[in-house]
Structure 1
Amino acid sequence: RIQPANVCEDSMISIKFNDFNELKRNAEFMYSNIIKNERMCQGSEQKFCALCYSCLGKERHQRDWNFDCDHVAGVTLLRSSGPKDFIAAFDEPSNTTMGKNDDDWIIPGLLSHKSSIYSDTEQWYLLHWLIWLSDKSTFHDRHYKAIDNWEGGEFFNLHLSDYLRTVVIYIYGGTYMDMDVLWLRKPTDVKNEYLAIDHTETFVDWNLEGVEYIENCNMRLRRLRRMFKDMMEKVYSEGYDPNCITCVGPIVLTKFVKEHRTLIDKSGIHLLPVYFHFPYHYFTTVELINRHEAPLEKLYNLSLSSWSIHWFNHATESSKIDDESVLATAFKKFSLSVSDTKLTLQGPTKYQYNFSNITDQLNQIVSANGRFEGLDVIRVHGKLEHVHQVEIRAKTQYGMLSFDPSGR
């Protein structure tokens, strides 16, 4: 309402007059309007858009001048530098010491309010995040004070979950995954940053290409990427729609990627094709919980082309998981539970070796040769009351054998 520009809006409390005022209006002219009970800007020049006012039918939109508006933050820069720098930029970490002063521990020795012991190291990828929201009836005053008035919307819990996952990735970095995402194998390069592509049943105007869009249920990124902070600040501006189920998550993320696709590709963030994380989709995921004639074989074939599966709990939660289904088999295969039986050696009956050119064609989706990961993992499984010493002996008929540097 106070702007140093040649614009006029009736609710302004300060108007600038200068030689560029084509109609030569001044304070006396505006005062005469008020005396006559007319609009303050009646007869004044109003062809230019004032910051944070409606620009309908006017020239020089605020975004053309690199300005944006927020009902809380006020007038802000749309981007602090050129688009390329904006996409690739990282914010500076807080100049604080974890566990002291204004950065208290959340988990002592591991996680503070502003960082973690891994976030600024080469092991940032070790951080994994899950979001679990209880019913609104369990919330206390301190929760509502932190989230303002979102609780009035129909999709409050979903929006809060979408917001929180973006916040933890921005502040700490690492991998976020939904509770209904099951890893089949470790990514080939654990330090690669990625966003995952899925697809819808039908085309919508915010899709990337065809029916593809960015899902936010599985993503891995370094911390303090400025673009994620900017996205969330804009979502909860005056354009926030509490009744739009995916507007805080997939839609805002997809629109941003769509607008800056080339720059994001160059910034080090990989956009993974659908088959990496979504071999089944929302409308076919029921096949994972239904009986299958050869569930283990199907699961193994999935692991050759995918890193994970998403069984979309909200689409399957009312259905029973069949004991002979792909999903039940995965649970059994990856279970860490043990019975009171003797120790047994578990591992694959066969192992597929990939030549380098084949691995390249697969976009490095498979494990590196010689690494027994995912369904190929070799382990001793069982339970004993007392174990004083364990010795593992291994030999190969052909080739060489080596363990991890850690000796595992």
Structure 2
Amino acid sequence: MRTLLYRLFSFTRTRGFDAAGGGRRWEGQRTVDELNTAILAGATTAARRAGWYSRNNPWVAAAVDSLVGNVVGAGIKPQSTHRDRAVRERLQVLWLRWTDHADPSGLADFYGLQAMAVRAMVEGGESFARLRVVPDAMFVPLHIDLLDRDQVPLDLHRDIGGGARVRAGIEFNGAGQRTAYWVMRDRPGDPLTSLRLEPLRLPATDCLHLFKPLAAGQLRGITWLAPVLLRILVTLLEANSGNGPTLSDTKALFHVDHGNKAASGAVISDATLSAARLALRTQKGIDGRIIRVTPKNLLVPPALETVAEKWLATIAPATAADVNPFSGAMSLVVEPRLSSATRWYVTADPGEINGLEFAYLSGNEGPQVESRSGWDVDGVEIRVILDFGAGFIDHRGWFQNVGA
């Protein structure tokens, strides 16, 4: 009866959003997992990669510097609002004395600690600090110890009774309130670390956790260096139905005339890898002569990761017939943004030949930050302009097989 009534009065549920539809156009499209699941699975790896780029790529470093500079500037400075002027002046004197000694290591003053904390949040997604009372301090008995994100173990989970539990290194009571942080004494990987591996329990009132919440119930932070640049490069690679952008010779990047596309799609095997390697090794320059192109990377989507690992694995064969000719010959690169689950690539050493390049507008390398005093709002308006582009400048360093 209920079903009949629903049909009679048009209570049937239909999808009102194209993004919730089905069909071939949505095949292979990814969806967002529960945020904490994604953080627990990949936040540490993403943070370490972001840290590497922020220290080794000058443009990423410039972007991080700009973000930190605009968030912190010369330092966020509080002002006392006490009604007694003498008290305000005394508090200001104490404050200025303390700021120079806030960092027990002496590396920075209070404003420098702010910049370091924000930088850690941008790069790693979050930063932690411990407020530590020091009775024998010279001025104000308070020190601020900045903690590495890895000192709060992301994989620490336990039930501690009474409805309380530890999730990702953070202790919650039965009401879901943060009550403590479990902190390692030293940074993981420190060669001079102590042998005491059990984390300390620090009350939440003594800790600061700085991160950008993106969803309700979020446990830990995510690096701000979102993969927008990689997405641009992947979009370029997959243009023209997967054949890549059109080059100056009016042909797509991957074209039979370029000798960098398999005649027919096939799975990864010794035969197809040999064909890809041969195609790169026999590429010719503009003068028609063979040039040096060394295959270096095997680029695959996640669906082909296991298969690719098998063909690149190092084994100890018992007979000559069991030798893996590609053992250690190439590095595996897995790119989750690739839309095809079967298409794979072999790329050359970029130190030998140019292929895919990323560049900024000349004279405007890195983010350009502009600001002005707000007119409609009581504050400062800030905008960041980033002019950049990517393109393939040569087809000879890339080979594609559409797979099967």
TM-score over 0.5 for the pair: no
* Larger proportion of strand: 2
TM range (shorter): under 0.3
TM-score, normalised to structure 1, is: 0.20
